Amino acid sequence: MISIISILGLLFALFIPGFLVTLIFFRESELLERIMLSITFSIMLSIAIGISLGYSKNVKEITGGINPKNVWMWELIITSVLFAVVLVLHRQKLTMDKIMNLRKRFKTPNIKLRKEKEPVRYKKL
């Protein structure tokens, strides 16, 4: 049975970092083009991580080599840095109205935000 870790590993190795790179550098690209570029850039980043973790004996001793812990750690670090850059670049597009419209699209529960305390209303007996 396929585990969640293997699915996440495939997403982090083959799609997510590259998709964030395309959001940073290729803002006007279409969906199919963005998907292909995402896969390409993700593979390039995974190869760069592998090379930087175990290029030679000295580098392997310093970094601990290529093992699942190191690979996951560096994939998450790179992805979080790319995500932070995407948020900074697209911060003007992320208005509260658009975020609330996303809530309607995905049918999330309605959460009322009260700005001031509402008075309690009692029924007369």
pLDDT, tens digit (0-9, with 9 covering 90-100), for 10-44: 888 889 999 999 999 988 888 899 999 999 999 99
pLDDT digits (tens, 9 = 90+) for 65-124: 788 888 888 889 999 999 999 988 877 776 666 666 666 666 555 556 555 566 666 666
Classify residue 49: in a domain, yes or no.
yes
Classify residue 118: in a domain, yes or no.
no
Classify residue 124: in a domain, yes or no.
no
Number of domains in the chain: 1
Which pLDDT belongs to residue 18? 93
Which pLDDT belongs to residue 56? 76
Classify residue 84: in a domain, yes or no.
yes
Classify residue 60: in a domain, yes or no.
yes
Classify residue 122: in a domain, yes or no.
no
* Domain around 90: 4-105
Classify residue 8: in a domain, yes or no.
yes
**pLDDT, mean of residues 49-69:** 80
Which pLDDT belongs to residue 36? 93
Classify residue 50: in a domain, yes or no.
yes
Residue 86 to residues 25, 40, 54, 89, 97, Cα–Cα distance (Å): 10, 19, 29, 5, 19
Which pLDDT belongs to residue 38? 93
